[in-house]
């Protein structure tokens, strides 16, 4: 708020007001770098996770000078990655989409087998947005380093929730989104390891060391920096608290609701996310029922709201279209309490019972 009210200079200007803005911007850059353990000059501010993914993928692949180019990604990526890869395919780039097991985890050996001499990039998300499953990024990076191939990880769901050190992970590019760690919507960042070659996808001035042109959104960047600082400070304690709440929610629902289960529940996961199926129900109906009771949940990715197709993530782990449509994602955060979790479990049980009574297909569970 102080930036919006007082720091109105252009961070690229050399006058007094511009330099004040520049100081605040660079402080934010250091704070983001502190969360992910990198050099501040390796942080590029963007408009969010989608732009960060686009810059990482399009930027590295388009910069590659070889005649034939190949990209490896997974079948459970966010649309910001999948649709960017689809665009590369339209440009003549070959893309391999790796399958995952029922645990929602990519096998590093599958990455090794998919590598080709013309492979220029591997992009595998750090944690999945629907399941919360964490991917073995460090194991994958050992393979890509040996092959001399860039590795990008979409870290939108993991930053601030899992211990994060981009040096230890071995990634070359890592995407962040501000609103996932309580910064405003419309701000994000991309970690670009020193020496990583990528072309800009936007064209204009020389901002962000020629990697992302456009006057920087200083107030939003400052908010992201502060959010990153707070997320890093409380990461361990908050992750432990959220994991306890998540497990409490799962146990309460499974105890009260027959024909329910956790999707990919045995895999390593972020502490705040769980995805449950409710046999014989339409997930959208349960979302509406819980909304009427004051609870906001999702039947898939928020970026796919309104889509009639079942989740590509849930289909990829082996669920049928009917099971995928009967699944709900629950995400917990800083403001949630044990009392809220208990109330949610009761609301889920009551809503499921009501909906199954209305459905002839589901009467077996009533």
Buried b (16+ CB within 10 A) or exposed e, 155-176: bbbbbbbbebebeebbbbbbbb
H helix and E strand count, the chain: 13, 10
- Total count of residues recorded for the chain: 366
Radius of gyration (C-alpha) of the chain in whole angstroms: 22
Q: Which long-range contacts (CB under 8 A, 24 or more apart) does 2-10 make?
A: 3/218, 3/219, 3/222, 3/223, 4/219, 7/218, 7/219, 7/222, 10/215
Residue 344's nearest CA partner among 271, 245, 227 is 245
For tokens 């920087």, name the residue: 216
Tokens of 271: 């502490």
Catalytically annotated residues: 303
Task: Give the C-alpha separation, 176 to 159, whole Å.
Answer: 7
Judge residue 63's burial from the number of C-beta atoms within 10 Å of its C-beta, 0-12 exposed, 13-18 middle, 19 or more buried.
middle
Residue 323's nearest CA partner among 249, 260, 250, 255 is 260
């Amino acid at each position: 708020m102080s930036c919006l009210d007082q720091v109105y200079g252009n961070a690229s200007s050399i006058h007094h007001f511009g330099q004040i803005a520049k100081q605040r911007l660079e402080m934010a850059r250091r704070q983001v770098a502190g969360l992910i353990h990198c050099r501040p000059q390796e942080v590029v501010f963007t408009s969010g996770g989608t732009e960060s993914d686009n810059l990482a993928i399009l930027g590295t692949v388009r910069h590659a000078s070889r005649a034939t180019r190949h990209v490896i990604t997974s079948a459970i990526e966010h649309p910001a990655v999948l649709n960017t890869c689809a665009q590369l395919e339209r440009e003549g780039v070959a893309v391999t989409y790796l399958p995952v097991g029922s645990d929602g985890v990519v096998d590093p050996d599958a990455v090794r087998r998919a590598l080709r001499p013309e492979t220029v990039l591997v992009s595998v998300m750090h944690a999945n947005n629907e399941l919360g499953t964490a991917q073995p990024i460090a194991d994958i990076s050992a393979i890509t380093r040996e092959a001399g191939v860039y590795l990008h990880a979409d870290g939108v769901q993991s930053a601030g929730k899992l211990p994060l050190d981009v040096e230890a992970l071995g990634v070359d590019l890592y995407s962040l989104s501000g609103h996932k760690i309580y910064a405003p919507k419309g701000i994000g960042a991309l970690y670009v390891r020193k020496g990583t070659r990528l072309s800009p996808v936007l064209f204009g001035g020389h901002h962000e060391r020629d990697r992302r042109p456009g006057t920087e959104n200083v107030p939003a960047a400052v908010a992201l920096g502060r959010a990153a600082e707070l997320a890093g400070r409380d990461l361990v304690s908050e992750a432990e608290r959220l994991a306890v709440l998540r497990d409490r929610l799962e146990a309460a629902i499974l105890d009260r609701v027959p024909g329910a289960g956790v999707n990919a529940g045995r895999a390593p996961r972020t502490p705040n996310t769980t995805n449950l199926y409710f046999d014989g129900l339409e997930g959208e109906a349960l979302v509406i029922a819980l909304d009427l009771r004051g609870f906001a949940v999702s039947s898939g990715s928020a970026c796919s709201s309104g889509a009639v197709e079942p989740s590509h993530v849930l289909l990829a782990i082996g669920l049928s279209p009917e099971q995928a449509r009967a699944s709900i994602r629950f995400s917990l955060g800083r403001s949630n309490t044990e009392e809220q979790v208990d109330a949610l479990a009761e609301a889920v049980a009551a809503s499921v019972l009501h909906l199954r009574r209305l459905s002839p297909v589901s009467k077996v569970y009533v």
